[in-house]
Amino acid sequence: MPELPEVETVRRALELHLGGRQVCAVGGRAVRLRRPLELDHLARQLEGLRFGSPRRRGKHLLIDMYSEEGRGERLQGEPLGALHIHLGMTGRLLLVEAQEPEPRHTHLTLVLDSGQLLRYVDARRFGMVEWLAPEEEAGDPSLSALGIEPLDPRLAQALPSAVRRRTAPIKSLLLDQHLVAGVGNIYANEALWRSEIAPHRSGSRISRQRLVVLAERLQEVLREAIAAGGTTLRDFASLDAEAGYFAIDLSVYDRQGQPCESCGSPISRSTIGGRSTFWCRACQR
DNA sequence: CCAGTATCCTGCAGGC
DNA sequence: TGCCTGCAGGATACTG
């Protein structure tokens, strides 16, 4: 469920609350996530290091880690590696005080020099946390194969060429991280409704002009969601990916049978590529 | 190469 | 109330 805006909200929260903090200890239980959680490896790499600025690529978070030499000053030199986090469906990062009880499905806990704990909690274990050495980043298929960032100004050019020869439904193409990185089911539905494009329509059968509109509407809804997530962020001292989720009003997602905000027709629901799809049969063509 | 489906996993909603 | 079933979807393995 965390899509680009939610991951970006978490990134900003991490930047605000984690910058310069040091990892004192690593705890957790070895468990199978999307990739196996390798606690010993994480502990060896992370203990004693300081957090740099977190980056986001699609739905991936990358937190550069620096040697403790940077104590007190600006972090210097090259990062020793990065903490690579994907939240999957139900992954959450929590920054809490040490006395807070441990939530169910906590897989990893970092003890920080502030005394606080950074916890990775993920009921469904579709997410992951791993150490990524600098030379591994370029070779990691989950990162290197990612498509264009949807907020990139070149999206309006890139989307038509990415989609032109593809016969799959445009909604499936939007969800393909190799084409555009960071769009999930909720914002794919919303962007298509705003563009008045039927989600089942084959990518190859949408005019360039309409794809440019789709790119613009996609950027618009993502920006609104990030802005809304940011406003909720200000009120929370702790990180919580869910803070941003439903901060904006969704026009079609999960609104089956309710009136279309544009024409009043009931919102339809169907399945595309195994995913719930919500759309207006009257507005979207 | 591409399109479509199965798989991982738990919590929750709905039916009876 | 409790049990069962199906659904939620991000990424990837697999099939045709």
Output the distance from A175 CA to C15 C1' rounded to whole Å.
Answer: 21
Instruction: Supply the pLDDT for residue A234.
Output: 44
Rounded CA separation A135/A138 (Å): 6
Those nucleotides of strand B lying less than 7 Å from any protein Cβ are: 2-11
Residue-wise pLDDT tens digits, A184-201: 999 999 999 999 999 999
Residue-wise pLDDT tens digits, A260-277: 999 999 999 999 999 999
Residue-wise pLDDT tens digits, A174-183: 999 999 999 9
Give residues 110-169 of chain A lying near strand C (Cβ < 7 A): 124, 126, 141-142, 145
Instruction: Supply the pLDDT for residue A68.
Output: 74
Would you say A122 and A91 are in contact if contact means Cβ atoms under 8 Å apart?
A: yes
Instruction: Supply the pLDDT for residue A248.
Output: 82
Residue-wise pLDDT tens digits, A44-103: 999 999 999 999 999 999 999 999 765 555 566 899 999 999 999 999 999 999 999 999
Mean per-residue pLDDT over chain A, rounded: 91
pLDDT band, very low/low/confident/very high, at A241 (cuts 50, 70, 90): very low
Rounded CA separation A96/A256 (Å): 38
A164 touches strand B (CB under 7 A): no
Instruction: Supply the pLDDT for residue A20.
Output: 87
- Is residue A243 over pLDDT 90? no
- Is residue A242 over pLDDT 70? no
Residue-wise pLDDT tens digits, A98-133: 999 999 999 999 999 999 999 999 999 999 999 999
- Mean pLDDT, to the nearest integer, of A132-153? 95
A123 touches strand B (CB under 7 A): yes
Output the distance from A262 CA to C4 C1' rounded to whole Å.
Answer: 40
- Mean pLDDT, to the nearest integer, of A235-245? 47
Instruction: Supply the pLDDT for residue A115.
Output: 96
Output the distance from A126 CA to C4 C1' rounded to whole Å.
Answer: 25
Instruction: Supply the pLDDT for residue A279.
Output: 96
Instruction: Supply the pLDDT for residue A239.
Output: 58
Among candidate residues A166, A210, A269, A275, the one labeled active-site is A275
Percent of chain A scored above 70 by pLDDT? 91
Instruction: Supply the pLDDT for residue A185.
Output: 95
Instruction: Supply the pLDDT for residue A237.
Output: 38
Instruction: Supply the pLDDT for residue A56.
Output: 97
Instruction: Supply the pLDDT for residue A94.
Output: 92
